[in-house]
């Protein structure tokens, strides 16, 4: 069999991590993107820059500072230890935290663009009909921004699947706990198991191509309908 039991365990862990990260990012990123698209506050620039930092920072830099923050001497690590939870480093929860931070711009920016493209007119019409904030969001903003949500979900999921530096720094290489596909490929290469590495790497290549093809096809389809 080309793929081993350890390979399948890494694939399952990766899919689990990417799915949970995408859901969290959509929940957390939506209000951030909505605020960035509407506010005129001077904080818009600094907040936008912080959200976009993972686009320019090496993954190892983000992973290093998260390792310090989540570790036994970090402020988050000390807090979780005080709660009796131990530290979050080298755990699946730590991987989720790192993935959320590292993939944040890939979800927030598509949503921000989608919200900005709506404009103020639909919101003004909803206000004249006495729609509340929640009603306006679910009845007006959400349907109009649906393509942005699709793009954000696809990019967030795919980017999480392809992580390496951040997850390796925070989670290490623990089988069935923190060893994701990218780390498993690295292990195969280190052990000179190029055949196994090839199968996993080829699967990642095909997955990435299918994701991008689906993304561009959906954009082309929407452009054709507009």
Evaluate if residue 49 carries a pLDDT over 80.
yes
Q: Can you tell me whether residue 179 is helix, strand or coil?
A: coil
Evaluate if residue 102 carries a pLDDT over 90.
yes
Q: What is the mean pLDDT of residues 190-201?
A: 88
Lowest mean pLDDT: which of 2-11, 29-38, 103-112? 2-11
Evaluate if residue 185 carries a pLDDT over 60.
yes
- The model carries a pTM of 0.88
Evaluate if residue 226 carries a pLDDT over 70.
no
Q: What is the mean pLDDT of residues 153-162?
A: 90
Q: How far apart are CA 112 and CA 191, in angstroms?
A: 44
Evaluate if residue 126 carries a pLDDT over 90.
no
User: How sure is the predictor about 139, in pLDDT bands with cuts at 50, 70 and 90?
Assistant: confident
Side-chain half-sphere CA neighbours of 79 within 13 A = 5
pLDDT at res. 86: 85
DSSP secondary structure code for residue 55 in this structure: G
Side-chain half-sphere CA neighbours of 137 within 13 A = 7
Q: What is the mean pLDDT of residues 95-115?
A: 94
Evaluate if residue 217 carries a pLDDT over 80.
no
pLDDT at res. 138: 87
First to last CA, the chain: 48
User: How sure is the predictor about 207, in pLDDT bands with cuts at 50, 70 and 90?
Assistant: confident
User: How sure is the predictor about 225, in pLDDT bands with cuts at 50, 70 and 90?
Assistant: very low
pLDDT at res. 1: 52
Q: How far apart are CA 158 and CA 110, in angstroms?
A: 14
Mean pLDDT over each residue of the chain, to the nearest integer: 88
Contacts of 117 (CB under 8 A, 6+ apart): 145, 148
User: How sure is the predictor about 219, in pLDDT bands with cuts at 50, 70 and 90?
Assistant: low
Joined together, the tokens standing for residue 130 give 């006495």
Q: What is the mean pLDDT of residues 147-175?
A: 89
Q: How far apart are CA 88 and CA 66, in angstroms?
A: 10
Q: What is the mean pLDDT of residues 46-71?
A: 92
Evaluate if residue 15 carries a pLDDT over 50.
yes
Q: How far apart are CA 188 and CA 147, in angstroms?
A: 38
Joined together, the tokens standing for residue 179 give 């060893």
């Amino acid at each position: 069999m080309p793929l081993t039991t350890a390979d399948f365990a890494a694939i399952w862990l990766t899919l689990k991590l990417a799915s949970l990260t995408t859901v969290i990012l959509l929940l957390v990123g939506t209000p951030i993107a909505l605020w960035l698209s509407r506010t005129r506050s001077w904080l818009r620039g600094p907040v936008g820059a912080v959200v976009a930092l993972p686009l320019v920072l090496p993954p190892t830099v983000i992973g290093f500072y998260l390792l310090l923050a989540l570790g036994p001497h970090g402020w988050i690590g000390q807090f979780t230890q005080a709660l009796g939870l131990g530290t979050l480093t080298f755990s699946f929860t730590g991987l989720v935290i790192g993935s959320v931070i590292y993939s944040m711009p890939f979800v927030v920016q598509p949503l921000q663009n989608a919200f900005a493209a709506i404009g103020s007119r639909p919101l003004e019409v909803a206000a004249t009909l006495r729609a509340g904030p929640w009603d306006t969001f679910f009845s007006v903003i959400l349907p109009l921004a649906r393509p942005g949500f699709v793009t954000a979900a696809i990019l967030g999921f795919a980017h999480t699947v392809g992580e390496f530096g951040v997850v390796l720094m925070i989670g290490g290489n623990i089988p069935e706990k923190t060893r994701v596909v990218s780390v498993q490929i690295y292990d195969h290469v280190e052990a000179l198991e190029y055949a196994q590495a090839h199968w996993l790497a080829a699967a990642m290549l095909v997955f990435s191509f299918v994701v991008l093809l689906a993304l561009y096809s959906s954009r082309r389809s929407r452009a054709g309908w507009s």
